[in-house]
Chains A and B, each alone.
Chain A
């Protein structure tokens, strides 16, 4: 394995998702290197969430493939080149390698912060309770919540809930982390405490794809930024380039509308 990171971890090829006749994402192509940090931006309804949700097959793509670290998600190619769909249990197993953080946190409402984090390791990875608790405590410490581990989600602020959600995803030791607008439901102060945690992750070279409107975050951590519009990936470039001198007129217009470009 190439340790300096120039090694594709994820390859999304010609990915299309239709809802009825409507394209939510159309012929998307995307490669993410190991340790790379990717940010997706674009107007509402441009297909950012759909693209993320197709990567871990929460949404089954209409066509196209998702390849993660040596295997296709959702199926495989036979020797004769025909496509065989994964059984539900095969798909479930592959999904473990992809962590996901949702805009609405989605913490398990009946469980404490600690139990939210241990549930996956215990019941999916069959880890002994003691070991799972140890890992969970370390992760809660990492997201600065060690003192809140016994609290129910309803007793935590939004920012705290989102950090527990990040710890929960990390507990599965994923190869790839997906963030779908992790701070959109939070006020600026809480946004920062979540972004700080994500920044630390980025510094540790966690491979991540982040949908966000936080341009500051994108500038700081992204290796590459993708701009989506009308279900299409319009262009991609390092943030310094994309935010200052986009090639496509649609990107320029979006950045102007967001007051990023004049």
Chain B
């Protein structure tokens, strides 16, 4: 079955705009997710138990329920509690919730991967737990998080396809719309898939670039320790 290339080129601008929107929303969600993730992830490590446990529940809930369900809950729940946002920001909030759920764990794991001597040394010079976290643990944990976070951005972009159900004009939604108008199933779907692939491929490349750099840093440490 030959593809109608002319058609594919004609719809490209519209799909490209949708792609930009998709990346934008995903990026914002990741950013807010990182802020939330660092906050909650830190509390998860040094907070009192009555804070740690609810955070763990939240994480379990987010990881243990379908993302579509979470989207719909955010979509319907926000207006109920008096927060009326347009589709764009509803989408950002919904995706942020998902991203944060994973990032809390990324942050926690990164902090806990730092040698415990670092924290003890910080406490021994008279730092509080909060200062030890802010000045010693987080700066080191941050660089270990980078690969996982870049990877997480790909996941968020894939999850953003679900925003089509709440009428955000992201890539999947726009693709669907064109299909309904023209019935060019394959042309549209293939083009949509390729666009996702390119973006996620680029991110994967960035991710492994960071990973190698971070890994190289780790190697440098052990190499000089032996000396």
Q: Which residues of A contact B (CB under 8 A)?
A: 56, 58, 88-89, 92-93, 95-96, 98-100, 102, 104-110, 119-120, 123-124, 154-158, 165, 168-169, 171-172
Contact = CB atoms under 8 A, between A and B. Distances in A.
B225 A93 contact: no
B224 A154 contact: yes
Contacts of B131: 123-124
B135 A99 contact: no
Contact of B224 (A95, A155, A165, A171): A155
Interface string B102-134: 000000000000010110111111111101000
A169 B123 CA distance: 11
B221 A120 contact: no
B139 A102 contact: no
Nearest to A125: B126
B220 interface: yes
Contact of A92 (B118, B121, B127, B135): B127
Nearest to A102: B117
B130 to A, nearest CB: 9
Contacts of A93: 126
A56 B124 contact: yes
Contact of B124 (A89, A100, A104): A100
Nearest to A53: B120
A169 B125 contact: yes
Contact of A109 (B125, B129, B221): B221
A100 B119 CA distance: 13
Q: How large is the interface on B (under 10, 10 to 19, 20 to 34, 35 or more residues)?
A: 20 to 34
Nearest to A171: B125
13 contacts: A58-B124, A88-B128, A92-B123, A99-B125, A104-B117, A110-B136, A110-B139, A123-B127, A124-B127, A154-B220, A165-B121, A169-B124, A171-B125
A93 to B, nearest CB: 7
B80 interface: no
Contact of B140 (A95, A105, A109, A119): A109
A88 B132 CA distance: 13
Interface in B180-227: 220-221, 224-225, 227
A155 B131 CA distance: 25
Contacts of B127: 92, 120, 123-124
A154 B126 contact: no
Contact of A119 (B115, B125, B143): B125
Contact of A123 (B123, B135, B139, B140): B135
Contact of A95 (B115, B118, B126, B225): B126
B124 A154 contact: no
Nearest to B128: A92
A109 B126 contact: no
Contact of B126 (A102, A165, A172): A172
Contacts of B122: 108
A23 B197 CA distance: 59
Interface string B139-182: 11001000000000000000000000000000000000000000
Nearest to B134: A123
A109 B128 contact: no
A124 B121 contact: no
A105 B120 CA distance: 11
A106 B117 contact: yes
A89 B227 contact: no
Contact of A108 (B126, B136, B224): B136
Contacts of B124: 56, 58, 95, 98-100, 102, 169
Contacts of A169: 124-125
